[in-house]
Amino acid sequence: MKKQRDYSRRILTCSLSAILVLAILPTMSTIYASPPQLEICNAVDTSGSLSQSDVDTIQQGLEDAFDDQFIRTTSVQVMLDYSVVEFDNSAVVALAPSSINSLGGITTLQGLINAFSWFDGGGTNTAAGITLCEEQFSYPFGATQVINVITDGNPNSDQAAFDAADAAEAAGVDVLNALAIGVSIDQDFLDTIIFGPTAEVFQTPDVDGFLAAYIEKLQQDIPVAGELLPINTSAVLIGGVLASGFWIVPLVGLAGVGAFLARGVLHKVEG
Protein backbone atom coordinates (compact mmCIF):
# COMPACT_ATOMS: atom_id res chain seq x y z
CA MET A 1 0.00 0.00 0.00
CA LYS A 2 2.82 2.39 0.81
CA LYS A 3 4.31 1.84 -2.67
CA GLN A 4 0.91 2.47 -4.22
CA ARG A 5 0.53 5.74 -2.33
CA ASP A 6 4.01 6.83 -3.44
CA TYR A 7 3.13 6.16 -7.06
CA SER A 8 -0.14 8.07 -6.67
CA ARG A 9 1.67 11.05 -5.17
CA ARG A 10 4.16 11.08 -8.02
CA ILE A 11 1.43 10.92 -10.61
CA LEU A 12 -0.47 13.73 -8.89
CA THR A 13 2.70 15.88 -8.62
CA CYS A 14 3.54 15.38 -12.30
CA SER A 15 -0.04 16.17 -13.31
CA LEU A 16 -0.15 19.40 -11.31
CA SER A 17 3.27 20.43 -12.67
CA ALA A 18 2.03 19.87 -16.23
CA ILE A 19 -1.08 21.95 -15.50
CA LEU A 20 1.02 24.83 -14.16
CA VAL A 21 3.45 24.77 -17.10
CA LEU A 22 0.66 24.68 -19.68
CA ALA A 23 -1.16 27.50 -17.91
CA ILE A 24 1.97 29.68 -17.84
CA LEU A 25 3.15 29.02 -21.40
CA PRO A 26 0.54 31.24 -23.08
CA THR A 27 1.48 34.01 -20.68
CA MET A 28 5.22 33.67 -21.31
CA SER A 29 4.64 33.80 -25.05
CA THR A 30 2.63 36.98 -24.49
CA ILE A 31 5.47 38.57 -22.52
CA TYR A 32 8.33 37.64 -24.83
CA ALA A 33 6.72 37.28 -28.26
CA SER A 34 4.24 40.16 -28.23
CA PRO A 35 5.58 43.70 -28.40
CA PRO A 36 5.04 46.04 -25.47
CA GLN A 37 2.90 49.13 -25.86
CA LEU A 38 4.25 52.66 -25.78
CA GLU A 39 2.34 55.94 -25.44
CA ILE A 40 4.11 59.14 -26.50
CA CYS A 41 2.69 62.64 -26.23
CA ASN A 42 4.54 65.69 -27.54
CA ALA A 43 3.90 69.04 -25.85
CA VAL A 44 4.89 71.62 -28.49
CA ASP A 45 5.58 75.24 -27.58
CA THR A 46 3.83 77.58 -30.06
CA SER A 47 4.34 80.78 -28.09
CA GLY A 48 4.99 84.22 -29.55
CA SER A 49 8.76 83.77 -29.58
CA LEU A 50 8.34 81.31 -32.47
CA SER A 51 7.45 82.61 -35.90
CA GLN A 52 4.90 80.93 -38.16
CA SER A 53 7.84 79.67 -40.22
CA ASP A 54 9.42 78.14 -37.11
CA VAL A 55 6.18 76.37 -36.20
CA ASP A 56 5.84 75.08 -39.77
CA THR A 57 9.37 73.66 -39.55
CA ILE A 58 8.55 71.86 -36.29
CA GLN A 59 5.34 70.52 -37.80
CA GLN A 60 7.21 69.21 -40.84
CA GLY A 61 9.80 67.64 -38.54
CA LEU A 62 7.13 65.76 -36.58
CA GLU A 63 5.86 64.34 -39.87
CA ASP A 64 9.23 63.61 -41.51
CA ALA A 65 10.61 61.83 -38.43
CA PHE A 66 8.43 58.85 -39.36
CA ASP A 67 10.30 58.51 -42.66
CA ASP A 68 13.28 57.27 -40.64
CA GLN A 69 13.45 53.50 -41.23
CA PHE A 70 14.23 52.59 -37.62
CA ILE A 71 11.34 54.67 -36.31
CA ARG A 72 8.93 53.30 -38.94
CA THR A 73 9.77 49.70 -38.09
CA THR A 74 9.87 49.92 -34.31
CA SER A 75 6.78 52.14 -34.05
CA VAL A 76 4.76 49.27 -35.49
CA GLN A 77 6.50 46.66 -33.34
CA VAL A 78 5.77 48.49 -30.08
CA MET A 79 2.18 49.38 -31.08
CA LEU A 80 2.92 53.07 -30.59
CA ASP A 81 0.14 55.44 -29.49
CA TYR A 82 1.16 58.95 -30.56
CA SER A 83 -0.37 62.31 -29.72
CA VAL A 84 0.50 66.02 -29.89
CA VAL A 85 -0.64 69.01 -27.86
CA GLU A 86 0.36 72.63 -28.41
CA PHE A 87 0.71 75.25 -25.73
CA ASP A 88 1.06 79.02 -25.57
CA ASN A 89 -1.17 80.91 -23.11
CA SER A 90 -3.16 77.70 -22.79
CA ALA A 91 -2.98 74.20 -24.27
CA VAL A 92 -5.08 72.38 -26.89
CA VAL A 93 -4.95 68.93 -28.46
CA ALA A 94 -3.48 69.11 -31.96
CA LEU A 95 -3.54 65.33 -32.51
CA ALA A 96 -5.61 62.97 -30.37
CA PRO A 97 -3.92 59.64 -29.54
CA SER A 98 -3.43 57.68 -32.76
CA SER A 99 -2.43 54.00 -32.75
CA ILE A 100 0.29 52.71 -35.08
CA ASN A 101 0.05 48.98 -35.73
CA SER A 102 0.98 48.89 -39.41
CA LEU A 103 3.01 50.85 -41.96
CA GLY A 104 -0.30 52.08 -43.31
CA GLY A 105 -0.99 53.50 -39.87
CA ILE A 106 2.21 55.54 -40.11
CA THR A 107 1.10 57.02 -43.44
CA THR A 108 -2.23 57.94 -41.89
CA LEU A 109 -0.47 59.52 -38.90
CA GLN A 110 1.76 61.61 -41.18
CA GLY A 111 -1.32 62.87 -42.99
CA LEU A 112 -2.92 63.90 -39.71
CA ILE A 113 0.23 65.75 -38.63
CA ASN A 114 0.37 67.52 -42.00
CA ALA A 115 -3.21 68.68 -41.50
CA PHE A 116 -2.40 70.56 -38.29
CA SER A 117 -3.59 74.15 -38.15
CA TRP A 118 -1.97 75.86 -35.20
CA PHE A 119 0.06 78.83 -33.97
CA ASP A 120 -1.66 81.46 -31.90
CA GLY A 121 1.38 83.03 -30.27
CA GLY A 122 1.27 84.38 -26.73
CA GLY A 123 2.88 83.17 -23.52
CA THR A 124 4.58 79.89 -22.61
CA ASN A 125 2.28 77.89 -20.36
CA THR A 126 4.49 74.81 -20.12
CA ALA A 127 2.44 73.50 -17.19
CA ALA A 128 -0.72 73.39 -19.31
CA GLY A 129 1.12 71.49 -22.05
CA ILE A 130 2.43 68.86 -19.63
CA THR A 131 -0.95 68.43 -17.94
CA LEU A 132 -2.85 68.06 -21.22
CA CYS A 133 -0.28 65.54 -22.47
CA GLU A 134 -0.75 63.43 -19.35
CA GLU A 135 -4.49 63.44 -19.98
CA GLN A 136 -3.98 61.86 -23.43
CA PHE A 137 -2.70 58.60 -21.93
CA SER A 138 -5.02 55.66 -21.36
CA TYR A 139 -2.44 53.73 -19.27
CA PRO A 140 -3.05 50.24 -20.73
CA PHE A 141 -1.70 47.38 -18.63
CA GLY A 142 2.08 47.04 -18.97
CA ALA A 143 2.49 50.11 -21.21
CA THR A 144 5.07 52.89 -20.87
CA GLN A 145 4.13 56.59 -21.07
CA VAL A 146 6.53 59.27 -22.36
CA ILE A 147 6.03 63.05 -22.57
CA ASN A 148 8.34 65.09 -24.80
CA VAL A 149 8.31 68.84 -24.09
CA ILE A 150 9.45 70.76 -27.18
CA THR A 151 10.18 74.40 -26.35
CA ASP A 152 12.35 77.38 -27.30
CA GLY A 153 12.02 79.45 -24.15
CA ASN A 154 11.23 79.80 -20.48
CA PRO A 155 7.80 79.09 -18.96
CA ASN A 156 5.38 81.66 -17.65
CA SER A 157 5.78 80.03 -14.24
CA ASP A 158 8.61 77.72 -13.23
CA GLN A 159 6.70 76.55 -10.17
CA ALA A 160 3.55 75.70 -12.14
CA ALA A 161 5.66 73.64 -14.56
CA PHE A 162 7.40 71.86 -11.66
CA ASP A 163 4.02 71.05 -10.12
CA ALA A 164 2.63 69.78 -13.45
CA ALA A 165 5.66 67.52 -13.96
CA ASP A 166 5.32 66.15 -10.41
CA ALA A 167 1.61 65.51 -10.97
CA ALA A 168 2.30 63.71 -14.26
CA GLU A 169 4.84 61.46 -12.56
CA ALA A 170 2.42 60.74 -9.72
CA ALA A 171 -0.29 59.89 -12.27
CA GLY A 172 1.92 57.17 -13.75
CA VAL A 173 3.92 58.82 -16.54
CA ASP A 174 7.26 56.99 -16.79
CA VAL A 175 9.47 59.52 -18.60
CA LEU A 176 9.40 63.25 -19.29
CA ASN A 177 12.03 64.51 -21.75
CA ALA A 178 12.73 67.98 -23.09
CA LEU A 179 13.81 69.01 -26.57
CA ALA A 180 15.26 72.50 -26.33
CA ILE A 181 15.37 74.73 -29.40
CA GLY A 182 17.69 77.76 -29.48
CA VAL A 183 20.23 79.27 -27.11
CA SER A 184 17.93 81.13 -24.69
CA ILE A 185 16.74 77.96 -22.95
CA ASP A 186 16.95 77.79 -19.17
CA GLN A 187 18.90 74.52 -18.91
CA ASP A 188 18.56 74.39 -15.13
CA PHE A 189 14.76 74.62 -15.44
CA LEU A 190 14.57 71.80 -17.99
CA ASP A 191 16.90 69.63 -15.92
CA THR A 192 14.49 70.05 -13.03
CA ILE A 193 11.23 69.08 -14.79
CA ILE A 194 12.50 65.95 -16.57
CA PHE A 195 12.15 62.59 -14.85
CA GLY A 196 12.37 58.87 -15.54
CA PRO A 197 15.13 56.30 -16.12
CA THR A 198 15.88 57.49 -19.67
CA ALA A 199 14.98 61.18 -19.24
CA GLU A 200 17.21 63.65 -21.06
CA VAL A 201 17.34 67.20 -22.38
CA PHE A 202 17.99 67.15 -26.13
CA GLN A 203 19.18 70.40 -27.68
CA THR A 204 19.34 71.97 -31.11
CA PRO A 205 20.74 75.49 -31.64
CA ASP A 206 17.94 76.54 -33.99
CA VAL A 207 14.66 75.31 -35.39
CA ASP A 208 16.35 74.13 -38.60
CA GLY A 209 18.03 71.39 -36.60
CA PHE A 210 14.76 70.19 -35.11
CA LEU A 211 14.24 67.16 -37.38
CA ALA A 212 17.62 65.56 -36.59
CA ALA A 213 17.20 66.25 -32.87
CA TYR A 214 13.65 64.87 -32.84
CA ILE A 215 14.65 61.70 -34.68
CA GLU A 216 17.37 61.16 -32.07
CA LYS A 217 14.75 61.72 -29.36
CA LEU A 218 12.29 59.22 -30.83
CA GLN A 219 15.02 56.64 -31.27
CA GLN A 220 15.58 56.87 -27.54
CA ASP A 221 11.86 56.71 -26.76
CA ILE A 222 11.17 53.64 -28.90
CA PRO A 223 12.96 50.44 -27.81
CA VAL A 224 15.09 48.37 -30.15
CA ALA A 225 13.11 45.61 -31.87
CA GLY A 226 12.75 42.56 -29.65
CA GLU A 227 13.59 44.35 -26.42
CA LEU A 228 11.02 44.94 -23.73
CA LEU A 229 10.01 48.26 -22.26
CA PRO A 230 10.32 48.48 -18.46
CA ILE A 231 7.15 46.67 -17.36
CA ASN A 232 6.20 44.73 -14.27
CA THR A 233 6.63 41.23 -15.70
CA SER A 234 5.61 39.58 -12.43
CA ALA A 235 2.25 41.32 -12.56
CA VAL A 236 1.88 40.42 -16.23
CA LEU A 237 2.73 36.79 -15.45
CA ILE A 238 0.17 36.51 -12.65
CA GLY A 239 -2.46 38.24 -14.75
CA GLY A 240 -1.69 36.00 -17.68
CA VAL A 241 -1.99 32.84 -15.62
CA LEU A 242 -5.39 33.97 -14.41
CA ALA A 243 -6.38 34.91 -17.94
CA SER A 244 -5.23 31.50 -19.11
CA GLY A 245 -7.41 29.75 -16.56
CA PHE A 246 -9.40 28.03 -19.28
CA TRP A 247 -6.48 25.61 -19.55
CA ILE A 248 -6.80 24.50 -15.97
CA VAL A 249 -10.34 23.05 -15.89
CA PRO A 250 -9.89 20.44 -18.64
CA LEU A 251 -6.37 19.65 -17.50
CA VAL A 252 -7.50 18.97 -13.95
CA GLY A 253 -10.05 16.60 -15.39
CA LEU A 254 -7.41 14.86 -17.50
CA ALA A 255 -5.10 14.62 -14.50
CA GLY A 256 -7.89 13.02 -12.48
CA VAL A 257 -8.62 10.51 -15.21
CA GLY A 258 -4.89 9.73 -15.48
CA ALA A 259 -4.61 9.21 -11.73
CA PHE A 260 -7.68 6.97 -11.73
CA LEU A 261 -6.34 4.84 -14.58
CA ALA A 262 -2.90 4.64 -12.97
CA ARG A 263 -4.46 3.52 -9.72
CA GLY A 264 -6.35 0.79 -11.54
CA VAL A 265 -3.17 -0.39 -13.21
CA LEU A 266 -1.37 -0.50 -9.86
CA HIS A 267 -4.19 -2.53 -8.31
CA LYS A 268 -3.88 -5.08 -11.10
CA VAL A 269 -0.10 -5.22 -10.76
CA GLU A 270 -0.29 -5.77 -7.02
CA GLY A 271 -3.10 -8.23 -7.41
Query: Per CATH, which fold does 38-221 belong to?
Result: Rossmann fold (3.40.50)
Average pLDDT across the chain, whole number: 78
Nearest to 168 by CA among 127, 201, 123, 197: 127
Residue 27's pLDDT band (cuts 50, 70, 90): very low
How do residues 104-153 score in pLDDT, each as one tens digit? Answer: 999 999 999 999 877 667 899 999 999 999 999 999 888 999 999 999 88
Q: For residue 185, what pLDDT is reported?
A: 85
- Single-letter amino acid code for the residue at 142: G
Please report, for the chain, the start and end positions of each structural domain, with discontinuous segments joined by +. Answer: 38-221, 235-271
Gap between the Cα atoms of 159 and 29, Å rounded: 45
The answer to whether the CB of 46 falls within 8 A of the CB of 121 is yes
The answer to whether the CB of 136 falls within 8 A of the CB of 107 is no
Helix, strand or coil for residue 18? helix
pTM, to two decimals: 0.71
**Most confident option among 120-124, 173-177, 228-232, 247-251:** 173-177
What share of the chain in percent tops pLDDT 70?
Answer: 68
The answer to whether the CB of 83 falls within 8 A of the CB of 73 is no
